Structure 1
Amino acid sequence: MTLKRILPYLALSLCPPLHAASLPSGDRLDTLAEAPYWLALGHYERGKLGGWRSYVDDTDFFLAAEGNSDPAAELRATVKALYAPANLGDKHAQCIYPARTRWLREQLRLADLPEVACPEYRAWYQDVNPHSAVLVFPAAYLNSPSSMFGHTLLRIDQADVDSHGTALLSYALNFGAYIEGMDNSLLYAWKGLMGGYPGLFALVPYRDKLGEYSRLENRDLWEYRLNLTPEETGRMVEHVWELKQVRFDYYFFDENCSYRLLELLEVARPGVELTDDFPLTAIPTDTVRAVVDAGLVERIDYRPSRERELLARAEPLERDEQGWVLRLADDESLLDDPAFLALPQARRALAQDAAFRLVRYRATGEERNRATATRSFRLLQGINRNPPPTLDIERPGLPEQGHRSRTWQLGLGSRDERAFAEYGLRMAYHDLNDNLHGFPLGAQIEILQLKLRQYEGNHWQLQRLDLATIRSLTPRNHLLQPWSWQVAGGLERVPGEDGDERLVGHFNGGAGGTWKLNEDLLGFALATARIEHNPDFAAAIAPALGFDTGVLWRNPVGNLTLEAKGDYFHNGEVRRSLGLTQQWEVSPRLGLRLSAERQFSSLTPPENELMLQLRWYHY
């Protein structure tokens, strides 16, 4: 326990409070300790085997030695600490726990508490000056492991933010993993899944967070203005002060940024229940949906990323005009080139504005330099002389209106004239054929997917267990050339030597390109590598090189993929497949999927599989 937590107790032991006789009875305190609001302030939950446990993983947060598992002991310790001598100043419990102090003063009518100034807390609170709050959702960004599912944070606004347009001067309240050192992406993902990082709350200027998510990571931002009153917003900010430098466990799936913010909203508005719906996972889009469904949102605003703005500005340009965009972004002196000046005035306006946006996009995350600044300034001068029309970007589907994250699957099919039923569960989140509303075309993130099959004769087998499957098929264009990539690992069935299927462990990945063939049609081609543990192979681990190519079509009834894959193992095994999958979007929570696949292996004759599957997006 740190000095700031010990001081109130030392003062009480040395100078017994004059008002000890006025303390409430033990029964009254025990009853109050079970109040939902007190449990919310301590971040308590029912333990799996009974009793209580706090999500807070920091003994400094508690005044009682057993405070992390005994809400009543923590409440009694807090009440006693509130009567410590006022000369403790900022170290007084009233200053460290303003939310506890206010609530206990109201519930127990503690009119005789010492008067403590708390200058440090008062100055901080006045600087934040909370009046209203906005839930901000930076959309998913596949190229960052920490952002695969999106993110949520709270913006704390002052009273005049709308009338004065001063949102950038607000504060952003964020909960995230605290990382010391430079862990690589794979290690970051693993430690995030396993709880290897502590989680901390941070209150930083909103303009800094806006730059980080919308600019550095090129993510669209959704802003959900909450209907919290000034009193409710202030109550939440009071509790944020209590959580300053307090460590929580952090897990990607459940005890993450979104879950912690739901707890704060329960503090802001007592009686609203948001966390009860997330016993296993808390995917950011699902938590946003919970906030909307609870009636806490009064307005939704959308901020497109730099990348989306660039592509929208360049979309009307012909290919040769986009060539001018590239040349201008490299050499601003071409603004005076006779060939460029020969273009119609309206086309020049679009080209130079797109060039300016491309320069800013390329500079993302880089140190500011004189050459880039000069080029930007010259392009801005050209834009001022010949301004383009206002950029109007159509707002995409609301993230929370997309399908639910957890999916149950029931399929009926046939494999080489053997009928089977297949039962599946996917914990999260989205694949290439799922209902697309609120998701980008070509993105796939699946975590923990289990599939069991029941063949004729009541023969059961584990068909596959996917730990993770991630695919990012981002189309290349004349201006931007992103790589497409994929990675997957787990257990799956493959053709075996005796005509049966073998359950093998595998890890594979690939990289390549994706191209937009028309508005709703993508074509992709990737080179792949695979390592596999197969009982039919002599070596414990067998490597293979291969390919994965196909098309993805967004059609009137749903999504269709046509995909050809091949793996060529070092031991001579060759495995190829050709598959077609079409999903019909029956409703936002139901999908009907037809899949057909023909597999080729050097170990067995070709095999055909056909399946019709019902998918229920239930949570």
Structure 2
Amino acid sequence: MNRLILLCCLAFFCNLIQASTFTATPELEQIAASTTWKKLLVYSDNGQSYIQSEHFFLSKSGNSDPLSELLATLAAFSTPVDKESPEAHPQCKFAGRFNWLKQQIAISEFGIKEINCLNFNQFLRQQDVNSISVIFATGFLGNPASYYGHLLLKLNTGNTSNQQNMLQDTAINYGADVPADENMALYVIKGIIGQYDASFTQQKYFYHAENYGESELRDLWEYELALDQQDITLLLGHIWELLDADYQYYFFN
């Protein structure tokens, strides 16, 4: 019995050691330098991520060092699952990154065992997405942030037999977190200098159709994106990560 316990402890600590010793290789350096990896980390052109949330990164320098974040991500993906909270495992929290990385490398060679993420899989089933559209709401002079229009994503289920069904699709929106009673002049100034947090949210599309189309009388234009199922799954995984992240909001970005 004691021998069995000892072997289990050794196996556990070996996993921890392996998870902490990922080093850069030419293959990993190439992946870290790729456009897709940097987009998954939401890097700007100056090499700094737009994301403010520290929990979005697994490396202390991950918001500006894509290789460091890649190595930390692989290490985190290889850690044992906590049976008390399996959904907190990095593979489940960062589903977009995990799904993309397993297409780029043989994850088993890095000591990574894929786990079953129930919450993310349920998210995919609930959305049942077979295409994704960009919705453009034309400009609205009643809101400074919408003078030039507004964009959002619509996750299409394919159940488009009538307009009512389309309105039940999920929309992904990005916007500033502004107090309801904010002074308009202060709103403009703070929006210009980046004094608001911002985030992605999900709501039924009918909410936006009602708000933009009916209340504000704005035209809504829909453009379906040419994405295959692999692209759709990647984008849904990325959305899953972004729904829990905060940005610094600027009107002109």
TM-score relative to the length of structure 2? 0.85
Does residue 245 in structure 1 map to residue 237 in structure 2?
A: no
The offset of 1:30, in angstroms, is 2.1
Does residue 205 in structure 1 map to residue 204 in structure 2?
A: yes
Q: Distance in 2 between matches of 1:186 and 1:120?
A: 42
- The verdict on how the C-alpha distance between 1:80 and 1:172 changes in structure 2, with shifts beyond 3 A counting, is same
- The verdict on how the C-alpha distance between 1:165 and 1:65 changes in structure 2, with shifts beyond 3 A counting, is same
| Paired residues of 2:99 and 2:237 also in contact (CA < 8 A) | no
Q: Distance in 1 between matches of 2:20 and 2:106?
A: 14
Q: Distance in 1 between matches of 2:132 and 2:124?
A: 15
Mark the structure with the bigger radius of gyration: 1
| Paired residues of 2:171 and 2:203 also in contact (CA < 8 A) | yes
The offset of 1:17, in angstroms, is 4.3
State the match for 1:73 in structure 2.
Answer: 68
| Paired residues of 2:19 and 2:74 also in contact (CA < 8 A) | no
The offset of 1:134, in angstroms, is 1.4
Does residue 105 in structure 1 map to residue 102 in structure 2?
A: yes
SS at match of 2:63: coil
- In structure 1, list runs of 5 or more residues that go unmatched: 1-12, 255-619
- In structure 2, list runs of 5 or more residues that go unmatched: 1-11
- The verdict on how the C-alpha distance between 1:187 and 1:15 changes in structure 2, with shifts beyond 3 A counting, is farther
State the match for 1:128 in structure 2.
Answer: 127
Q: Distance in 1 between matches of 2:170 and 2:119?
A: 18
TM-score relative to the length of structure 1? 0.36
State the match for 1:159 in structure 2.
Answer: 158
Per-residue CA deviation, residues 169-205 of structure 1 (Å, 9 max, x unaligned), is: 1011111111135202222122111111111011111
- The verdict on how the C-alpha distance between 1:194 and 1:22 changes in structure 2, with shifts beyond 3 A counting, is closer
| Paired residues of 1:192 and 1:250 also in contact (CA < 8 A) | yes
State the match for 2:9 in structure 1.
Answer: none
| Pairs within 5 Å for 1:440-479 | none
Q: Distance in 2 between matches of 1:78 and 1:68?
A: 13
| Paired residues of 1:85 and 1:114 also in contact (CA < 8 A) | no
Q: Distance in 2 between matches of 1:120 and 1:251?
A: 32
| Paired residues of 2:131 and 2:158 also in contact (CA < 8 A) | yes
Q: Distance in 2 between matches of 1:163 and 1:26?
A: 53
Higher percent of residues as helix: 2
- Larger RCO (CA within 8 A; separation ≥ 6): 2
- What one-letter code is carried by the residue in structure 2 that aligns with 1:231? Q
Q: Distance in 2 between matches of 1:216 and 1:15?
A: 60
SS at match of 2:244: coil
Pick aligned residue for 1:58 from 48, 53, 56: 53
The offset of 1:24, in angstroms, is 7.1
Per-residue CA deviation, residues 516-573 of structure 1 (Å, 9 max, x unaligned), is: xxxxxxxxxxxxxxxxxxxxxxxxxxxxxxxxxxxxxxxxxxxxxxxxxxxxxxxxxx
The offset of 1:53, in angstroms, is 1.2
- The verdict on how the C-alpha distance between 1:36 and 1:75 changes in structure 2, with shifts beyond 3 A counting, is same
SS at match of 1:135: strand
- The verdict on how the C-alpha distance between 1:85 and 1:222 changes in structure 2, with shifts beyond 3 A counting, is same
What is the RMSD of the two structures over their aligned residues, measured on CA atoms?
2.5
- What one-letter code is carried by the residue in structure 1 that aligns with 2:61? E
- What one-letter code is carried by the residue in structure 2 that aligns with 1:80? A
| Paired residues of 1:131 and 1:234 also in contact (CA < 8 A) | no
The offset of 1:223, in angstroms, is 1.4
Does residue 96 in structure 1 map to residue 93 in structure 2?
A: yes
- The verdict on how the C-alpha distance between 1:163 and 1:215 changes in structure 2, with shifts beyond 3 A counting, is closer
The offset of 1:64, in angstroms, is 0.3
Q: Distance in 1 between matches of 2:126 and 2:36?
A: 26
- The verdict on how the C-alpha distance between 1:190 and 1:38 changes in structure 2, with shifts beyond 3 A counting, is same
- The verdict on how the C-alpha distance between 1:127 and 1:15 changes in structure 2, with shifts beyond 3 A counting, is farther
Q: Distance in 1 between matches of 2:221 and 2:20?
A: 53
The offset of 1:106, in angstroms, is 1.8
Deviates more, 1:20-29 or 1:150-159: 20-29
User: Identity over aligned residues, as a percent?
Assistant: 31
SS at match of 1:161: coil
Q: Distance in 2 between matches of 1:15 and 1:89?
A: 20
Per-residue CA deviation, residues 369-427 of structure 1 (Å, 9 max, x unaligned), is: xxxxxxxxxxxxxxxxxxxxxxxxxxxxxxxxxxxxxxxxxxxxxxxxxxxxxxxxxxx
Pick aligned residue for 2:78 from 65, 83, 90: 83
The offset of 1:20, in angstroms, is 5.5
Q: Distance in 2 between matches of 1:62 and 1:137?
A: 31
Q: Distance in 1 between matches of 2:204 and 2:13?
A: 42
